Amino acid sequence: MDKSILIIGACGQIGTELTLKLRKNYGKNAVIASDISEGNEELMESGPFEFINALDYKQISSIIDKYAINEVYLMAAMLSATGEKFPAKAWELNMNSLLNVLNLAKEGKIKKLFWPSSIAVFGPTTPKENTPQKTVMEPTTVYGISKLAGERWCEYYFNKYGVDVRSIRYPGIISWKTSPGGGTTDYAIEIYHKALTDGNYDSFLGKNTKLPMMYMDDAINATLKIMEAPAENIKIRSSYNLAAISFTPEEIAEEIKNFIPKFAISYHSDFRQSIADSWPSSIDDSEARKDWGWQHQFDLEKISESMLRNLQVKFDEIKTQK
């Protein structure tokens, strides 16, 4: 069976790079990008695009028919910080979009489904260091509650209806191509932007707030790897713990100083501090490493080098276009 892939939420931070990578691997016409509004130029020029509202079951169903789709990646979601401002909307989007695609898979219209979960499924009562795959889960954000409920639904649809759904709990994802929207871990991206534009950064998280993080290349790699693994290797049908590195705002600032010695950081915590404080500092992802061969490549030094180099090129290009 030829692959025919639909990405819902293709214009967001992870969706954009996932779409580009899948198009590179499988050909541009095998990967249909979709979202509620258009994405950046690179994405829009790289292959077919359709407008899809992830809450519209009929719209998703008709695009699946139009392109004979067999694989869906549902990347549309409202993240932790925005979710606290709009709890009802976050719940509606995060839950109903998932139930839409799970039901389409149950009806046999989707053969394989990817849905991202998050470290936000954990809460203040979870062991903070080296958080195990199976542990206490009492999330305190609406985003975390929706991701935990979503994980339960994924496992339910696998057990009850045989839906081939695969999921990973992303940590904070660091990238330069497309900006993230409304996450608590976003500081670890803003800091690189500000280091280049202003030479300083005012962090909305305290200096010792340690969170699990990962470079985009690793996140995309993990996503492709779990989707390509034989079904029998996927032993966990809720969602896999996934980890690369952990650091604090103070540690990332020290690393940036190796590239920009005059860089300065200040700290003024806002409402996102309590969200970050409720999450793990580091994650035990041994099940993902054992079941489908997950390995990360990027440490903090490699991430910082790549972020600063690529952002500088992007900023220079914008300047010459003006």
Active site residue 143: yes
Those residues whose C-beta lies under 8 Å from the C-beta of residue 295, and which sit 6 or more positions away, are 289
Q: In this structure, which amino acid lies at residue 110? A: I
Instruction: Give the CB-nearest residue to ligand AKB.
Output: 183
**Counting every residue, how long is the chain?**
322
CB of 98 to ligand AKB, least distance (A): 15
- State the Cα–Cα distance between residues 250 and 205, nearest whole angstrom: 10
Judged by the rule CB under 6 A, the positions of this chain that interact with ligand AKB are 79-80, 118-120, 143, 170, 172, 183-185
Judged by beta carbon, residue 34 or residue 185, the one nearer ligand AKB is: 185
HEC secondary structure over 229-241: CCHHHCCCCCCEE
Q: How crowded is residue 189: how many other Cβ atoms within 10 Å of its Cβ?
A: 22
CB of 294 to ligand AKB, least distance (A): 18
Judged by beta carbon, residue 81 or residue 195, the one nearer ligand AKB is: 81
CB of 186 to ligand AKB, least distance (A): 6
Q: How crowded is residue 231: how many other Cβ atoms within 10 Å of its Cβ?
A: 10
Judged by beta carbon, residue 10 or residue 120, the one nearer ligand AKB is: 120
- Tell me the Ramachandran region of residue 126: left when phi exceeds 0, alpha when psi lies from -120 to 50, beta otherwise: beta
Cross-sheet strand order for the sheet of 245-247? 172-174, 211-215, 245-247
Q: Which of these is catalytic: 26, 57, 73, 143?
A: 143
Judged by beta carbon, residue 79 or residue 145, the one nearer ligand AKB is: 79
CB of 58 to ligand AKB, least distance (A): 29
Active-site residues: which are they?
143
